[in-house]
Every structure is written in C-alpha cells, then in structure tokens.
Structure 1
Amino acid sequence: MEYPARILFIGDSITDSGRREDPDKLGFGYVRLIHDELLVTNPDKQIEILNKGIGGDRITNLQARWQEDVLREQPDYVSISIGINDVWRQLDQQQVEQVYPDQYEKIYHELCEQTNARLILMEPTIIEENLESEGNQKLVDYVQIVRRLAKKYNAILVPTHQAFQNYLLSGNSHKLTTDGVHMNSAGDMLMAKTWMKACESLWE
C-alpha cells in the first residue's frame, strides 16, 4: 500500500452503524474497529477511512449512488459489503421488487468494472444465527457470487460468511447479532478481525 491511502467502505446498515450520529462519521461498528486498529498499529502511516454505508441498501442502491459516493471520492481501496438485504427482503417484504442472484451478480460485476481502486469484497454475513435458516440457505448463492467476482477481479476476499459459519459451528452460545442480522459488539469484532486478517498483506 502506498501512503497516504484512502480506504472507502460501502454497504448497508451493518457498515453504516450510525455513522451520521458519529462526529467522526465512521459509525460504531466494524468500520470504526478497523479504523482504530489501523490507527494504533500503523501510527506512522496516513490512512484515511471513509464510511459510505446506508441502512437498508441492496446492490441496486449501491448502483444508484456509485458515482457520487465512490468514484467521486477517488479512493485507493474500496471495501464492499452488500447482499444481506438482497436476501432479507425476499423474506420480510415479499411485495417489493426483488433482487435475485442473476441481477445481483450483473450489477456487482458492473460496479467492479467501473472502479479503478483496489477492490476488497466482503462475503455477506448471516441471516439468523442458525445455518439452516431459510435466509442462510438463500444467502449461499450470493456468497458464491462474491467469491467468483473476487477471483475475477483479483480482489481481496474477506471471508466473513465463512467466519460466522465457523463461529456458529464452534458451539459458542454467545450471540453475534442483536436480531439475527445487525451486529452486536462481538459480531462487529469478528467482522473487523476477519477483514484485518484478509488485508494483512497491505500493511506489510
């Protein structure tokens, strides 16, 4: 990584995490934890973190604001976390127009094509802390799409879905979310640690 470096995070409410109420505009979730980790472990490096998460967003919302919220900012790295609402809306708002895997992949591909920055693609996390839930079963296709796109665009893949799967399979009873989707502090920590490990080569 060349310094100074600008890292832009974009996604839904998991990324947003109250950034508008935060004087630093970082939010109170995994983006904040990554920022603080980089700050204390790389004090000599100028790393700027931008949070462009918006609660409720699906891939179609990212497409609508990509020019303004991503390309205009001219980041060096773009970290994308999207897909939970694309699936969740199929369960809780069946009356709205849905984003199925084919459209999700098409739009995600277009966003990657438009972006000159180095891409960091985060797998969608979980929908309910039960791997057999309908949401997690539907999520599989979206996770696979992110993995394919990471390979296609030589992006850094952050295996957040795999990390949450591994945690749930460990038998630990401590919750990672407040409602099956939105992270509590432990969930945010798992996301941040998984991101830092996937991106560790950038700081060497």
Structure 2
Amino acid sequence: MTITLRPGSTVMFTGDSITDGARLASEDGLGFGYPLRIAGEWGLRHPDRPVTWLNTGLAGHRVSDLEARWRTAVLDARPDVVSVLVGANDMGWQTTAPDGRPIPAAEFAAGYDRLLAPLAAAVTELILVEPFLLPVGGTFRAGHAVVDDQVRKLWRADPDPKIEAVHELARTYGARLLAADDMFAGLAARTGPEHWSADGVHPTPAGHAALASAWLRLVQ
C-alpha cells in the first residue's frame, strides 16, 4: 500500500549522516543525497502536486540523539509524512570509538518506538528505512578505528536484530518499510558493494539514487 502525497503536503526526512548529506551547505537545505533526488524526481513527475520537503538529518546521530531533539526537529513542523533512516551509529561498529558502547537491540527498539508514538497519535504517515551495512572489502579508517575484514565480520552480526526491530515497528505502526539492507545486498551481489558504498555505510551517488528510487515506489 502506498502513501498518497497531496498538493501542499509536507514531507520530513530525518536520521543520521546518510540523510543529512551536508544539508547545511546546500541551498535548499535538503543536502546532496537521496532526499534531494526524491524531491527533484517528484517535481519532475508531478508538477501539479507541489510538496514541501524538509530534512533534519544530522551526521553522527543515534536513536537517542534523535529523541533528544525530536520535538523541535520533527514534531513542531507538523509534517504529513515522516521518513526515518537511523541505525548506522547504533550498530556495533561504533563501539570501536573510544567512547563507544554496545547498544542492545531492545534499547534501540524502545527508543525508536518513542520517536514514532507521537507521530502515530498525530496520524502522520510513516516511512521507515532499514539501517544497512554493505560487505565492502579492504581496510579503511572509520573515526578512531582501523577497519579490516575481521572487524567487518563483527559488525555484520549487530545490524540484523536492529533491522528486525525496524520491521516490527513498521508492522506495529502501519508504516511503509523500505528494505534497504536487502536491496543493497541484492545490488551488491550483481555489481560489487563498492559501487553502492565506499565504506559499507555511506552511499555513493549510485547508492543514493537507489534509495531514492525505492522510496518513490512507496508513494503516489
């Protein structure tokens, strides 16, 4: 079932750096990633149905960070549709930072639920995007950590229960689910993961285009 965007609707994107996309450096505040691509493609397809697009993603944020600013960043805007992509910074790979700690799936789910409850009470349409992790190879630096194939295998064990928590929340709240982890796994199997993300987390231009295309299939 898709969401109908009516003329004058307000759509809010929020989450972490994947959504942020350097939005504060962009002219329209949408950043340079998938929210901008969605807004542009929608405007091309539906010039008769103008939509207000907002982006309050913030690099580095976890569910708990979103919760701390949820009222001013999201609820006060009274959006008709809220699209959430969060979880990359709640994954176990963040525990490699000096101040990092494991975030249990139950804690992640409970915080996420607290984000969604007031939106559901306001009858806001919801789109939940799975957090994702692509199996890129090689060695690179992520913050304070040097990441290699052994570290990456440990990372992969952590997202799965959090992805399932997002699925359960989507069922609970009747939200549309964008199965991004499954989508990128399928794409990576055909082309190699580095085409879609250089570090396994942040999409390339092609990765942002894939997210935008999948998102647009959830609305009409």
What is the TM-score when the length of structure 1 is the normalising length?
0.91
- Mapping 1:100-119, distance limit 5 Å: 100-115=104-119, 116=122, 117-119=124-126
What's the offset of the Cα at 1:58? 0.4
Instruction: In structure 2, list runs of 5 or more residues that go unmatched.
Output: 138-148
Q: Which residue number in structure 1 is paired with residue 196 of structure 2?
A: 176
What's the offset of the Cα at 1:169? 2.1
Cα RMSD between the aligned structures? 1.9
What is the TM-score when the length of structure 2 is the normalising length?
0.85
- Mapping 1:100-179, distance limit 5 Å: 100-115=104-119, 116=122, 117-126=124-133, 128-129=135-136, 133-172=153-192, 175-179=195-199
Greater Rg by CA: 2
What's the offset of the Cα at 1:27? 0.3
- Mapping 1:27-38, distance limit 5 Å: 27-38=31-42
Following the alignment from structure 2 to structure 1, what is the Cα–Cα distance between the partners of residues 194 and 58?
A: 27
**SS of aligned partner of 2:136:** coil
Work out whether residues 11 and 53 of structure 2, in 8 Å CA contact, stay in contact via their aligned partners in 1: yes
Following the alignment from structure 2 to structure 1, what is the Cα–Cα distance between the partners of residues 52 and 100?
A: 37
Instruction: In structure 1, list runs of 5 or more residues that go unmatched.
Output: none
**SS of aligned partner of 1:63:** helix
Higher RCO by CA contacts (8 Å cutoff, separation 6 or greater): 2
Following the alignment from structure 1 to structure 2, what is the Cα–Cα distance between the partners of residues 88 and 97?
A: 8
Work out whether residues 7 and 50 of structure 1, in 8 Å CA contact, stay in contact via their aligned partners in 2: yes
- Mapping 1:80-119, distance limit 5 Å: 80-93=84-97, 95-115=99-119, 116=122, 117-119=124-126
- How many pairs are equivalent? 200
What's the offset of the Cα at 1:168? 1.7
Identity %: 29
